[in-house]
Amino acid sequence: MAELQLGKMLQPLPHSNTDIEVAYLRAGHLPSPPDELPLMWTTQKERRQYEVREGDLLVAEGGDVGRAEFAPPFLGNAVIQNSLHRVRAERGNDLRFLRYGIQALYSINWFDVYCNKSTFGHLTSEKLAALKIPAPPEEQQGSIADFLDAETARIDALITKKRRLLLELDERLISSARSVLMGKKEHGARRKTGLPWLPDVPVAWEIAPIYSRYDVLLGRMVNEARSANGDMRPYLRNANIRWDRIDISDIAFMDFPLAERNKYQLKSGDLLICEGGAGVGRAAVWNGELDECYYQKSLHRVRSRGRWPVEWLIEWLRVCKHMGVFAGEGNLATIPHLTAEQLRSHRIPFPAPERSHELLGILTAERRETATLQSLVSEQIALLKERRQALITAAVTGQVEIPGAAA
């Protein structure tokens, strides 16, 4: 049904003075290659052998084994690297039908078994050539592909709308939180704050640095020696912190000597804030998920001094993150960081403690309602994806009647 070609092994240096440098595609580039593809060396003959053209079907040889995507336009003289197979239809076969046939197998994780993916399996040229998919007459292939093109496009459009709705729900929640935290729903006069990201607040609200209401402490430094020897204790790092939850499925260990345990041991109710990286400012409350746990210097630990809950700060962190406040205070030109000094001196509004608890109750109810709606939308997306794949499988195996594809 098709002509197959595995890509060229990566050649970082020329082997002769006649070799040429060309751009290449690898499996990780699909389905949307970067604007600038990486380069490797090849001969003129190999460039023609491994060339990739718009519309070629490309199948992953390793990694996400069996994933099939059409080559995008504007590739110039690019070639494929040996993490990809190039598939071109022969004898009037429809390449779209071949892709749908491969997708039907991919969707049920058939390639994981076929290629023994648990041991870093690969879809070799021999295995791909021996792959068995339905092969109706050429004219029926075209009719089935036309039908699936139309139906999958319709389903994809619905999925896109649902995903947009998820983003809109997030935006609505952030907008509502910002309004509540700035006191927009409070009655009475307001005053200017002098902060570019916070125009005004109620007159009765105080603008104060975080250190005036909370204790902030950066975690313990990690090094190779501490991670290999000593009194090993569990600790949290950046990767464990998600918004509003702490993932303890991957806990690291290092030495925390007795003299430092009291300083770095977590207590229920501590707020943990990511100090750097893409998650800078992300935060969650520790609720004693482990009997004993510590934290390292990629995290700040924040403790309330008793009157204002840490939940008030986490809501402000969420809004500040969305507004890009930390991007301005950190150093996004390299790796963004929110230093302990920056966090301590960061100024936010504080209503009376009792009012902060009431406003947090409003936000908690809104967050719960939004989470329920988002869960329903996510379920709808999952059902649409299942419907899409079931339709592909049924169509390529002849289980649905398609106009123009009758036997």
**How confident is the model over 353-375, as a mean pLDDT?**
95
Q: What is the pLDDT of residue 357?
A: 95
Q: Calculate ∠ Cα 370-316-244, nearest 5°.
A: 50
Lowest-confidence segment of 80-89, 140-149, 325-334, 364-373 by average pLDDT: 325-334
Q: What is the pLDDT of residue 178?
A: 93
Does pLDDT of 54 surpass 60? yes
Q: Give the residue with greater pLDDT, 73 vs 49.
A: 49
**How confident is the model over 44-69, as a mean pLDDT?**
92
- The letter for the amino acid at 29 is H
Does pLDDT of 335 surpass 60? no
What's the Rg (C-alpha) of the chain?
28
Q: Give the residue with greater pLDDT, 327 vs 342.
A: 342
Q: What is the pLDDT of residue 309?
A: 95
Q: Give the residue with greater pLDDT, 377 vs 110.
A: 377
Name the token pair of 43.
């001969």
- Rounded to an integer, what is the distance from CA 40 to the centroid of its chain? 29
Q: What is the pLDDT of residue 224?
A: 73
Q: What is the pLDDT of residue 185?
A: 86
Q: 330 pLDDT band (50/70/90 cuts)? A: very low
Q: What is the mean pLDDT of the chain?
A: 90
Give the closest residue to 349 by CA, choosing from 327, 322, 323, 320: 320
Percent of the chain predicted with pLDDT > 90: 71
Question: Is 273 in contact with 343 (CB distance < 8 Å)?
Answer: yes
Could you tell me which residues come within 8 angstroms of residue 63 by beta carbon, excluding any fewer than 6 positions away? 27, 28, 83
Dist CA 121 CA 113 (whole Å): 9
Give the closest residue to 86 by CA, choosing from 138, 34, 30: 30
**How confident is the model over 288-292, as a mean pLDDT?**
94
pLDDT in tens, 212-266: 999 999 999 987 767 777 788 999 999 999 999 999 999 999 999 899 999 999 9
Phi, psi of 341 (to 5 degrees): -65, -40
Go through the domains of the chain in sequence order and give each one's CATH number: 2-135 (3.90.220.20), 187-350 (3.90.220.20)
Dist CA 149 CA 403 (whole Å): 14
Does pLDDT of 17 surpass 50? yes
**How confident is the model over 95-105, as a mean pLDDT?**
93
Q: What is the pLDDT of residue 117?
A: 61
351-355's contacts with Cβ under 8 Å and 24+ in sequence apart are 351/183, 351/186, 351/202, 351/204, 351/205, 352/204, 353/307, 353/308
